[in-house]
Amino acid sequence: MRALIAAFVVSQGDALKTFGNSTGTGWRLTQWRLSRWRSTRWLTVLVGFVAAEAAASTFILPDPNDGLVGEPVALKVTYEDRFSTLAMKYDLGFEELRHANPDVDPWIPGEGARVVLPTQFMLPSGPRDGIVINLPEYRLYYFPKGKGTVMTFPIGIGRTGFQTPAATTKVVAKINNPSWYPTKAHRVEHAEMGDILPTVVPPGPDNPLGDLAIQLTLPGYFLHGTNKPFGVGQRVSHGCVRLYPVDIHSLADAVPIGMQVRIVDAPVKVAWHDGALWMEAHPPLEGEPDMARMTQIINRAIDGKNVTIDWTRAEEMARTSTGVPGPISIQEPMIQPAQQSAALN
């Protein structure tokens, strides 16, 4: 293991903690809620992470009334770094990195550039059960039954014209070393590029399914590995969901046959965190951000609660769609006893 590297900045204003650089081993502050504690105290522990290969992010689930896990981290990158390699190194997707860093060139970030790793996640709405895939987020969440944890993985999804459908389905099989049977659309597309596909592509380095596939009851759709990891986190498939090779194995090892899979299209999510309402916005798969829909989601979340929303900030978050969660409710300033007395007089 390479030597630990020194932190270079801690940004209080945007709640980012920055540790080290992209070439070595860093340390990330992660808050874990300990279910065995009777109080609601939080223990902050140092969790080491090695920037060597992608690996699943697993978090202890927060209280049902809290919807955030993890923390964002920023890195000082080197001249050789690219978003595609950083994404694979830190188990993120290319589009996640690009959206979180709109002012950084994804192909040549530049020596010493500060790159935000979007490693704070807002849990999807609805039951914390089974697999939930949020298409605009390019991310999969898995809630193992009875474990009190959540695993999350970056994913690649269907491109325009071959959209991954929003649906509820189930895991029906796990296939090691699958063969790939190209559809007519695949063969036509490849033929136009001068690449004649066989009827069956056997297991091996040329198989786009990778070495493991999870079959769904949704006909023709799989969660699978890939022989092109740089496509994870992008719209590149003909509808299937792609994971990094190490991630598909982690998921398949954890998920039982029959597990429910919910595929949703939720560019805007809101959740409560530390008494405030937070929002996370991603670019919609088609068209522009829907401000009316965003307003409905926020109003449903507050539902009569005595809370003031910073609508200007919410609209700006929806427009920029960085995917980085942030508070949108306005905290009233605390009045000290002396101030209270003066106010009463």
**Which of helix, strand or coil describes residue 8?**
coil
Entry pTM: 0.82
Higher pLDDT, 267 or 24: 267
Where do the domains of the chain lie?
Answer: 9-122, 130-264, 268-330
pLDDT higher than threshold 90 for residue 27:
no
pLDDT higher than threshold 90 for residue 45:
no
Sequence-separated (6 or more) residues with CB below 8 Å from residue 223: 140, 213, 214, 216, 240, 241, 243, 248, 251, 261
At the topology level, CATH places domain 130-264 in L,D-transpeptidase catalytic domain-like (2.40.440)
pLDDT higher than threshold 70 for residue 284:
yes
What was the pLDDT predicted at 55? Answer: 59
| Tokens linked to 91 | 């188990």
Catalytic residue annotation: 224, 240
Binned at pLDDT 50, 70 and 90, residue 21 comes out as: low
Q: Which residues are registered as beta bridge partners of 203?
A: none
Mean pLDDT of 207-234: 93
d(CA 76, CA 39): 37
Q: How does pLDDT run across 171-181, given as a tens digit for each residue?
A: 999 999 998 88
Higher pLDDT, 33 or 210: 210
What was the pLDDT predicted at 106? Answer: 95
Residue from 311, 329, 312, 324 nearest 275 by CA? 329
CB of 68 closer than 8 Å to CB of 32: no
pLDDT higher than threshold 90 for residue 199:
no
Higher pLDDT, 99 or 32: 99
Q: How does pLDDT run across 51-81, given as a tens digit for each residue?
A: 334 556 899 999 999 999 999 899 999 999 9
